[in-house]
Amino acid sequence: MAALALAKHPAPARTPAFATGAPQVRPVPAATDASATLDRVGTTVSYIRGKTIIEEGNPAEHVYKVAAGALRKVRLLPDGRRHITSFLMPGDFFGFAEGACYTHTVEAVADVTLVRYSRRGFDAALEQDPRASRHFLGLVTRALSATQDHLLLLGRKSALERMATFLLAMADRRASKAGAELDLPMNRSDVADYLGLTIETVSRLITRLRSLKIIDTPDAHRILILKRDALQDLSAGQAGAA
């Protein structure tokens, strides 16, 4: 319900590319990676922050690749409890490891630009190009491995360990080159639902890490990692070990 449907009158607004509820569609740019077959059938689309891209249960008609921005893969329990399976960053695909229907809702955490493929075109490309399906086997395998790491985190790690692990993982994925500063596009609620915690606990953990001088927080969405090795220790459970 948080997500509005397509805007009827695309009103002029600040950022031209993200002005409307409806995605901006542009011709696809140039081929960059191995799966060149794909790039011929893709369409570039943009969505504003908060937009729902695909919805759990809907027929899986498209496959997407993230070009810019960040998204969350969400699952809901019938009573409204929410879980975030993963965050999607530039280079990630989504919607391709599905059966007939999507298993997750995917929403834009920040303004995003995506490349969209029709499921049919995508599957045909897999069929044609023998290397492509091996390529995606690799992709899914890596996704599986990351998901298994997350299982261990949710099953056996304390709140502090989860937070430390999360910050390190995010730092690896989106470290702005400028030193150890890390930009978190998602809000506390997203982090909480990703780590199996509550907003309050996430907030308290960040405060704790700040008062331990392990991180600093110029603002709520910016994290400066001061002691990476301390985080590393915390993430695996050895509190004050050398």
Partner DNA sequence: CGAGCTCTTGATGTGGCTCAAGAATCGTGG
Partner DNA sequence: CCACGATTCTTGAGCCACATCAAGAGCTCG
Residues binding a copy of itself (CB under 8 A): 75, 77-79, 81-83, 85, 97-99, 103-104, 126, 130, 133-134, 136-137, 140-141, 143-145, 147-148, 150-152, 154-157, 193, 195-196, 236-238
124 CB burial (10 A radius; 0-12, 13-18, 19+): middle
Residue with tokens 């298993």: 103
Which residues of the shown chain bind DNA in the complex (CB under 7 A)?
A: 14, 158-160, 187-189, 196-204, 206-207, 217, 219-221
Q: If we measure between CA atoms, which residue out of 90, 96, 99, 97 comes closest to residue 67?
A: 90
Shortest distance (Å) from residue 120 CB to a copy of itself:
15
Using the 8-state DSSP alphabet, how is residue 17 labeled?
A: G
Residue 226 binding partner per list DNA, a copy of itself, none, with a CB distance cut-off of 5 to 8 Å that depends on partner kind: none
| Sign of the torsion angle spanned by Cα atoms 146, 149, 155, 159 | negative
Residue 200 binding partner per list a copy of itself, DNA, none, with a CB distance cut-off of 5 to 8 Å that depends on partner kind: DNA
Shortest distance (Å) from residue 190 CB to a copy of itself:
13
Alpha carbon distance 170, 176 (integer Å): 11
Shortest distance (Å) from residue 22 CB to DNA:
17
For 197, list phi and psi in degrees, rounded to 5: -125, -170
Shortest distance (Å) from residue 164 CB to DNA:
12
Shortest distance (Å) from residue 225 CB to a copy of itself:
21
The answer to whether the beta carbons of residues 188 and 205 sit under 8 Å apart is: no
Beta bridge partners of 94: 64
Shortest distance (Å) from residue 77 CB to a copy of itself:
6
| Sign of the torsion angle spanned by Cα atoms 214, 178, 168, 54 | positive
Residue 126 binding partner per list a copy of itself, DNA, none, with a CB distance cut-off of 5 to 8 Å that depends on partner kind: a copy of itself
Torsion-angle region of 239 (φ positive above 0: left; ψ -120 to 50: alpha; else: beta): alpha
Residue 238 binding partner per list DNA, a copy of itself, none, with a CB distance cut-off of 5 to 8 Å that depends on partner kind: a copy of itself
The answer to whether the beta carbons of residues 160 and 195 sit under 8 Å apart is: no
The answer to whether the beta carbons of residues 95 and 71 sit under 8 Å apart is: no
Amino acid found at 58: N
Nearer to DNA, 131 or 222 (CB): 222
Residue 204 binding partner per list DNA, a copy of itself, none, with a CB distance cut-off of 5 to 8 Å that depends on partner kind: DNA
Nearer to DNA, 176 or 187 (CB): 187
Residue 151 binding partner per list DNA, a copy of itself, none, with a CB distance cut-off of 5 to 8 Å that depends on partner kind: a copy of itself
Nearer to DNA, 45 or 48 (CB): 48
What the block records as the tokens of 42 is 């893709």
Residue 128 binding partner per list DNA, a copy of itself, none, with a CB distance cut-off of 5 to 8 Å that depends on partner kind: none
